[in-house]
Amino acid sequence: MAGGLRPQKARTPVEFFLQQLVNGVTLGGVYALVALGYTMVYGIIQLINFAHGEIYASGGYMGVILISWLFAHGFPPMVCLGAALILAMGYCALLAMALEKVAYKPLRQSSRLSVLLSALGMSIFLQNGLMLTQGVYDRAYPTEMVQGGFHVHGVIVSYMQCIIVGLTVLLLVLLNLLVYRTRIGKAMRATAQDKTMSALVGINSSRIISVTFAIGAGLAAAAGIMVGLYYGSVRYDMGFVPGIKAFSAAVLGGIGNITGAMLGGLLIGVIEVFAAGYISSEYKDVFAFIILIAVLYFMPTGIMGENVDDTRI
Amino acid sequence: MKRALSLLAVLMLALALTACGGKKDENKAGAADGIKIGSLGPLTGQYAADGNDMKNGVLAAIEVMGPEMGKLGPVTIQSEDDACDPRQAVAAANKLINEKVTAVIGAYCSSATIPASEPLMAAKIFMITPASTTEKVTERGMPYMYRTCGRDDDQSKAAVKFMTDQLKAKTLYIVDDKTTYSQGLADNVEKLGAGANLKVLGHEHVNQGDKDYSAVLTKVKAANPDVFYVSLQNSASAAPMLIQIARMGIKAKLLAQDAVYHPQLIALAKQAAEGVYLTFGYTDKTTPAYQKFLAAYKKYGEPGAYSAYSFDSTVAYLKAVKAAGSTDPDKVRAEMAKLDFDGASKHIKYKENGDSGSNYVIQVVKDGKFTNYWNPETGELFK
C-alpha cells in the first residue's frame, strides 16, 4: 500500500517539453496518414471525401477482427500486425474503390455540390453500417501484444509509439516513391493537373482516380489499426473526429499537396498536444483551429499550397 | 449491368463485416392497452453501451413483473434514444408523451435527464432515473421524479474520505470531461478535498470522447500526485486513459467513479485496469433478488453498471401500479411512497424528494473483477 505513494523524481521543464513532443509527433503521424487520403482525392477530382473518416474506422475494425483472431491463434505479434495491416489496407482500398464507383463516378458530370452530398451520405451509411454490424460497444484490441517502452533521460517512449512513427515514415516514403518515381504516379500527377489533357495523351483517368482512392484508403486503414492498438479500442463512430482533424490538416498543409498534408498532420498533432500541455486540454481543439484560421488568413492556399488558376476550380 | 455489379461489390464488402459478429436490436412498439413504459437513454453515440444496458434492464424487469400484473397488463416498452444530448432528450421525451407512456425509465447523462424531465413532469409522467447521480435531478420539487441510484454529493464524500483515511493521501490531481455529471462530481471532490487538507495540484478538463490523453497525463506525471481522481462520463473514455496512465508509468493511486464501472472497462483496459479504485453503490450479489435479476438478464449478456438499477426502477414502478390498481399518476405516487422491498441493486425505499439514498463503497479492480474493497461507513476493508 505505502509503496505506491513513494515520491518520484520531479521532471525538468526540458523533459516535459520533450515528452509532449513525442506525444505530439505520434498523434501527428496518424493525422498525416489520414490527411493524405483527403488531399490526394481532392487533388485529383476536387472532392472533399467526407466518407474518408469512415474508411479509417473500417480499417480499425478490420484490424481488430484480424489481429484478435491471429493473436488468439498464437502468431507472433509482428506477424499479426503485418498480416492485419496488409489485409485491412487491401480491404479498405477495395471498399474505397467500390465507394467511388457507386457514389462518386456516376456524378462526375454533376455539380460539385451533388458529389459532396453523396460523400456525406456515404459517410452516414458507412458509419451506421459499422454500428449495425459491429454493435455499439467498443471493441478491444489485444494491447498486450505490444507492451513496454524505454526511457531516454526521463522521457518515456513506448514501443507502440515507435511502431506508429516508424510505420508512418515508411508509408510516407513509399507514397513519395510511388507518386514521384513510378509511371502510375506520373499519371496521377498528370490527371491532377489536367484531366482532359491527360486523357488525350492516353491516360485512363477513371483508373487513375480509382487508384488514388485506393491508396488514400490504404493509408487510412493503416492509421485506423495503429490508433486501435495505441488507444486499445475502436468504436463505430471513431472516424468522425480524426476525420475532421485530418481534413483540417490537409487544408492547413495546402489541400491537394501531398507533402503539405504530411506537414499539416504533424503540425495539428503537435499543436494540439502542446496546447493541452501548456495551456489547457480543454481548449486543445480550439488552438488547433485557431492556427488553421491564422494560416489560412495569411496563406489562403495553405502552407505548401500553390496558386491555381480559376479554370481548375 | 456494370452499375449493378459495383453496387453488389459494395454490399458484399459491407456484409463482410457482418459475418464477424454484432447483434440485432429489437424494438417492438406494443399494443395500445396495458401499461406502456418508456425507456430513455443513449442508444447511439459514445454512451450507447450504457443506454443499451439500461434498456435491457427494463426489458428484463418487464419479463419478470409482466405476468404478475394481471388485468393491468400487458406491459410493453417504448424505447427512445436521447444520444445523451439535451435537445434530443427533450424531443424523445415529447415523443414518449405522444406514445402515451405512463412512466419513463431514464436517462443516463444528467445533462439529458434534467431537460427531459420538464415536459414529462408537465404531462404527469413518472421519471425514474437509474443512473443520473447529479444532485440537482431530485432537487427541483418535481413530484414524479425518482432516482434509484445514489447522489454525487454522497459519492464525493465517500471518495474524499477514502483518499484521506485509507490512502493517507496528501496531494490530489483531478481530471474530468466537462459533463454536468463528471464536472459536478470533480468540483465536489475538489471542494471537499481542500477542506480535508488534500492539496489539489491540478484540475484539468478534457473533451468528451477524447482518446488521446497523453498531454494531460504528462502534466499529471510531472505533478506527481498521491491520488489521481479520474471523473469521466463512461468506461469507454476511461479505458484508453488507464492504458495511457500505465504506459506513462504514473505511480499515483487511481480513483474513479460510478460511470466508469462497467465490465467493458476491464475488457478494454485489461491489465491497465488492475488496482484502480472506484466509488460505486454497494450491491450484494448473493441476495435472492440479485440472482433473480441475473437470471432474467442473462440473455442480454453481462449486466452493465446500471442494468440492476434500471431493473429495480421498472420493478418499483410496476409494483406501485399493481398496488394502486391503475396507472393514475396520483394513486401510483401514493403507492411509490409506500414501497419498501429488496431490489436487485439495493433495498428500495423512496424518500419524499424521490431519492432512494446512497450507499457508496470503494471497489477495486482485482484479477480482472470489480471487488468490494473499503466501506466508508465503517472505515474498514471488506473481508
Regarding whether B275 and B133 lie in a shared domain, the answer is no
Regarding whether B123 and B177 lie in a shared domain, the answer is no
C-alpha cell read off for A25: 509527433
The number of residues making up chain A comes to 313
Regarding whether B277 and B183 lie in a shared domain, the answer is yes
What does the pLDDT average to over A286-309?
A: 81
Query: Distance between CA atoms of B224 and B172, rounded to whole angstroms?
Result: 9
b/e sequence A226-235, b meaning 16+ C-beta within 10 Å:
bbbbbbbbbb
Please give the interface size between A and B, counted as residue pairs whose CB atoms are below 8 Å apart.
158
Regarding whether B49 and B66 lie in a shared domain, the answer is yes
Regarding whether B370 and B244 lie in a shared domain, the answer is yes
A88 has a chain B CB within 8 A of its CB: no
Regarding whether B368 and B246 lie in a shared domain, the answer is yes
Query: Distance between CA atoms of B159 and A164, rounded to whole angstroms?
Result: 38
Query: Distance between CA atoms of B31 and B329, rounded to whole angstroms?
Result: 21
Regarding whether B226 and B93 lie in a shared domain, the answer is no
- Please judge whether A6 and B251 are an interchain contact, meaning their C-beta atoms are less than 8 angstroms apart: yes
Count Cβ atoms within 10 A of the Cβ of residue A251 and give its class: 0-12 exposed, 13-18 middle, 19 or more buried.
buried
- Please judge whether B248 and A156 are an interchain contact, meaning their C-beta atoms are less than 8 angstroms apart: yes
**H-helix or E-strand containing A170?**
helix A159-181
Look at residue A282 in the predicted model and tell me its pLDDT: 80
Domain boundaries, chain A: 52-238, 239-313
B13 CB neighbours in chain A (<8 A) are 91, 94-95, 98
Q: Is residue B70 part of a domain?
A: yes
Regarding whether B137 and B233 lie in a shared domain, the answer is no
Strand partners for B129: B147
Q: Is residue B22 part of a domain?
A: no
- Please judge whether B6 and A101 are an interchain contact, meaning their C-beta atoms are less than 8 angstroms apart: yes
- Please judge whether B207 and A281 are an interchain contact, meaning their C-beta atoms are less than 8 angstroms apart: yes
Give residues 139 to 198 of A whose Cβ lies within 8 Å of B.
140, 143-144, 149, 156, 158, 160
CB atoms near residue A112 (< 10 Å): 13
Regarding whether B373 and B267 lie in a shared domain, the answer is yes
A158 CB neighbours in chain B (<8 A) are 247
- Please judge whether B215 and A130 are an interchain contact, meaning their C-beta atoms are less than 8 angstroms apart: no
Q: Is residue B14 part of a domain?
A: no
Closest CB from A1, A136, A231 relative to B48: A136
Identify whether the C-beta of residue B96 lies closer than 8 Å to the C-beta of residue B40.
yes
pLDDT digits (tens, 9 = 90+) for A225-280: 999 999 988 988 899 889 989 999 999 998 888 999 999 999 999 999 999 888 88
Please report, for the domain that includes residue B166, its CATH number.
Answer: 3.40.50.2300
Regarding whether B369 and B252 lie in a shared domain, the answer is yes
Q: Is residue B192 part of a domain?
A: yes
What does the pLDDT average to over A159-174?
A: 93
Identify whether the C-beta of residue B148 lies closer than 8 Å to the C-beta of residue B348.
yes
Closest CB from B3, B49, B214 relative to A23: B214
- Please judge whether A10 and B205 are an interchain contact, meaning their C-beta atoms are less than 8 angstroms apart: no
Which residue of B1, B5, B6 to mutate against A (max A Cβ within 10 Å)? Answer: B6
Domain housing B73: 35-150+285-358
Identify whether the C-beta of residue A36 lies closer than 8 Å to the C-beta of residue A260.
no
Closest CB from B3, B216, B239 relative to A276: B216
B211 CB neighbours in chain A (<8 A) are 227, 231, 238
Regarding whether B236 and B372 lie in a shared domain, the answer is yes
The complex scores an ipTM of 0.80
What amino acid occupies position A75?
F
B169 CB neighbours in chain A (<8 A) are 5
Closest CB from A135, A237, A284 relative to B215: A284
Tens digits of pLDDT across chain B (383 residues): 556 555 555 555 555 554 444 443 434 343 347 899 999 999 987 888 889 999 999 999 999 999 988 888 799 999 999 999 999 999 999 999 999 999 999 899 999 999 999 999 999 999 999 999 999 999 999 999 999 999 999 999 999 999 999 999 999 999 999 888 899 999 999 999 999 989 999 999 998 878 889 889 999 999 999 999 999 988 888 999 999 999 888 999 999 999 899 888 999 998 999 999 999 999 888 999 999 999 999 999 889 889 999 999 999 999 999 999 999 999 999 999 999 999 999 999 999 999 998 999 999 999 999 999 999 988 889 87
- CA of B382: how far to CAs of A5, B166, B289, B374, B376, in Å? 22, 13, 22, 6, 10
How many domains would you assign to chain B?
A: 2
A130 CB neighbours in chain B (<8 A) are 17
Helical axes A159-181 vs A205-231, angle rounded to 10°: 170
Closest CB from B7, B214, B244 relative to A273: B214
CB atoms near residue B174 (< 10 Å): 25
Q: Is residue B63 part of a domain?
A: yes
Q: Which DSSP string corresponds to A28-90?
A: HHHHHHHHHHHHHHHHHH----TTHHHHHHHHHHHHHHHHHHHHHTT--HHHHHHHHHHHHHH
b/e sequence B269-298, b meaning 16+ C-beta within 10 Å:
bbebbeebbbbbbbbeeebebbeebbebbe
Regarding whether B278 and B186 lie in a shared domain, the answer is yes
Closest CB from A10, A27, A238 relative to B212: A27
Confidence of residue A223 (pLDDT cuts 50, 70, 90): very high
